[in-house]
Amino acid sequence: MIIVRCISWMRKHYSLVRMSFLAVLALLLIGDLWVPRHHVHFLGDEIPGFWALFGLGACALIIIGSKWLGHAWLFRPEDYYEKEGNK
C-alpha cells in the first residue's frame, strides 16, 4: 500500500523530513520580504514574519495557557461524573 510505504519511508528518514520542514519555514520567512501588501489592516501586516511569530506565540499560548487552566482548576478524573452520579 503506497500510503503505508510513504509513511514508513518518512519515518526512516526522519532527520531529512525535519530538515526540509525547517527549510520551508526559513523560505517562508525570507519570501515574506518580497510579498506585496495590498490590504494593510494594522501594524502587524507590514512587518515581515509577523504572522510566523504570531503562529508560534499562539501555539505556545494556547497549549501552555490551557494546560495550566486544566491543572489548576478544570481537570477531574475520567469517571468523575459516573462515580458521583451513581451515588
Partner 1 sequence: MADTFFFHPALLFFAALPAVPLLKGIWRQALVLLVPLVAFTLVLGFSPGNHGVIDVQGLHLVFGRVDKLAIIFANVFTLMSIIGAVYGLHIKEPWQQVASMGYVGSALGCVFAGDFLTLFLFWEGLMVFSTALVFLRRTERSTRAGYRYFLVHVTGGLMLLCGIFLHYHQTGSIAFVRFHQDTAGLAEYLILAGFLLNAAVPPLHAWLPDAYGSATVVGSVFMCAYTTKTAVYALIRSFPGFDILIALGVVMALYGVVYAVLENDARRLLSYHIISQVGYMVTGVGIGTALALNGACAHAYAHILYKSLLFMGVGGVVHVTGHSKFSELGGLWKYMPYTLVFTLIGGLSISAFPLFSGFVTKSMVISGAWESHLNWAALGLTLAAAGTFLHTGLKVPYFIWFWRDKPSFEPPKKEAPLNMLIAMAIAAYYCVLIGVNPSGLYKLLPFDATYHPYSSQHVMESMQILLFTMLGFFLLIKKLYPEPKVGLDLDWFYRRGAVVFMAFCRNVLRMLDDKVIKNLHKTFALPLLRGFARVANWNDQRVVDGVVDNSAQAVLSLGDHMRVFMQPGILSRYIARTLTVLAGIALLALYLR
Q: Least distance from C-beta 13 to partner 1, angstroms? A: 15
Q: Total binding residues for partner 1 by CB under 8 A?
A: 50
Q: Does 47 bind partner 1 (CB under 8 A)?
A: no
Q: Contacting partner 1 (CB under 8 A), which of 7, 16, 23, 47?
A: 7
- Residue closer to partner 1 by CB (options 19, 25) is 25
CA distances from 57 to 25, 27, 54, 62 (A): 15, 19, 5, 8
Q: What burial class does residue 32 get, using C-beta atoms within 10 Å of its C-beta: 0-12 exposed, 13-18 middle, 19+ buried?
A: middle
